[in-house]
């Protein structure tokens, strides 16, 4: 099964209403904020779902950003970067954590964990931040 993406049902309704009203960006953002149970300008809710961390190297946070063109920001890496989509923010968070983990593994002489363990953790981070078919908040558009 090849999936092309996930769209929230209320996001789709907001998209339709936005097209009809002419202000699609604001409707999508409002709908996203409502579905997440928060208003981005008033919350520091971390959207990052992976909480593991080998060698005490926890992943950075993914927060809502007050910018319609770059609605996600990553906080807790060397720089606070913003992203146009959630998947880009997830990639940054997971790869930054993997790099820090790998550096710690290479410096760690007692062998508590290896770079291979960091690779496994990276995949767990990526997987934890992907919607699944069991998540009833999303519709999937897939090719059989």
Query: What percent of the chain has a predicted confidence (pLDDT) above 90?
Result: 36
Instruction: Please state, rounded to an integer, the average pLDDT across all residues of the chain.
Output: 74
Instruction: Please give the tally of structural domains in the chain.
Output: 1
Q: Which residues pair with 137 in a beta bridge?
A: none
Please name the helix (run of DSSP H) or strand (run of DSSP E) that holds residue 7, with its range, or none. Answer: strand 2-8
Q: Helix (H, G, I), strand (E, B), or coil: what is residue 74?
A: strand
Compute the C-alpha angle 120/62/104, nearest 5°.
40
Q: How far apart are CA 57 and CA 47, in angstroms?
A: 18
Averaged pLDDT, 101-113: 85
Nearest CA among 43, 100, 47 for reference residue 72: 47
Please name the helix (run of DSSP H) or strand (run of DSSP E) that holds residue 141, with its range, or none. Answer: strand 138-143
pTM above 0.75, yes or no: no
Residue 126 above 90 pLDDT?
yes
Averaged pLDDT, 107-132: 88
Averaged pLDDT, 90-118: 90
Q: What is the pLDDT of residues 18-76, one digit of tens each?
A: 555 555 556 555 555 544 444 444 457 888 899 999 888 889 999 998 888 999 999 98
Q: What is the domain range of residue 83?
A: 2-143
Which positions ≥6 away from 121 have C-beta within 8 Å?
52, 53, 54, 97, 98, 101
């Amino acid at each position: 099964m090849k999936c092309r993406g996930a769209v929230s049902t209320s996001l789709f309704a907001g998209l339709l209403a936005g097209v009809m009203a002419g202000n699609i960006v604001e409707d999508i953002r409002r709908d996203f904020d409502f579905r997440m149970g928060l208003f981005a300008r008033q919350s520091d809710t971390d959207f990052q779902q992976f909480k593991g961390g080998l060698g005490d190297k926890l992943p950075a946070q993914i927060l809502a950003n007050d910018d319609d063109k770059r609605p996600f920001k990553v906080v807790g890496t060397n720089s606070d970067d913003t992203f146009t989509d959630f998947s880009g923010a997830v990639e940054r968070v997971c790869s930054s954590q993997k790099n820090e983990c790998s550096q710690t593994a290479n410096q760690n002489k007692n062998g508590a964990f290896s770079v291979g363990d960091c690779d496994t953790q990276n995949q767990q981070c990526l997987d934890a931040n992907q919607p699944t078919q069991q998540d009833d908040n999303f519709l999937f558009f897939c090719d059989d």
